[in-house]
């Protein structure tokens, strides 16, 4: 997808601070970190949202999870971290290319949101 921000990052057209890369995954630091460590992991295949996943994407999504484990190890997050997929409007997704947020370096609370007006859906 020529116009997709994250596809352009994978292609090297937009600079990023790479943390990890393999055949199907690219990981880089979030430009607006929400935790002391905030890394985004993306499949190299353009998939806009969870709803667009096909059964044949199981391997790439499983690989994304294993890559998250590698990034956690690489960055020394031995005390744990949080993994988030913001999906769709109510999920807070802004970039329409599936991405895994890996957040660490602090003790987080639960739930991760503040109650507000219900969705208009
Ligand atoms: P989301 O709201 O889940 O779609 O998350 C998109 C994330 O992409 C946000 O956390 C942004 O800070 C991050 N982001 C946007 N542009 C860039 C960029 N050029 N490099 C790194 N992270 C970015
Ligand atoms: Zn894309």
Q: Which two tokens stand for residue 56?
A: 């044949």
Catalytic residue among 38, 97, 99, 101: 99
Q: What is the pTM of this model?
A: 0.95
The tens digit of pLDDT for each residue in 77-101 reads: 999 999 999 999 999 999 999 999 9
| Residue in 1, 23, 31 with CA at minimum distance from that of residue 67 | 23
Residues 67, 28 contacting (CB under 8 angstroms): no
pLDDT above 70 covers what percent of the chain? 96
How far is residue 10's CA from residue 18's CA, in Å, rounded to a whole number?
A: 10
pLDDT band, residue 119 (cuts 50/70/90): low
pLDDT at 1: 73
- The pLDDT value recorded for residue 115 is 78
Name the residues around ion ligand 2, CB cutoff 5 A: 1, 4, 6-7, 46, 97
């Amino acid at each position: 997808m020529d116009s997709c921000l994250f596809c352009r990052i994978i292609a090297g057209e937009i600079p990023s601070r790479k943390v990890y890369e393999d055949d199907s995954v690219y990981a880089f630091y979030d430009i607006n970190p929400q935790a002391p460590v905030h890394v985004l992991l993306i499949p190299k295949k353009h998939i806009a949202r969870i709803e667009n996943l096909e059964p044949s994407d199981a391997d790439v999504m499983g690989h994304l999870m294993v890559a998250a484990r590698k990034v956690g190890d690489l960055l020394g997050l031995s005390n744990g971290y949080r993994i988030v997929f913001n999906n769709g409007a109510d999920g807070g997704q802004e970039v329409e290319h599936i991405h895994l947020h890996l957040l660490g370096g602090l003790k987080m609370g639960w739930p991760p949101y503040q109650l507000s007006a219900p969705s208009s859906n």
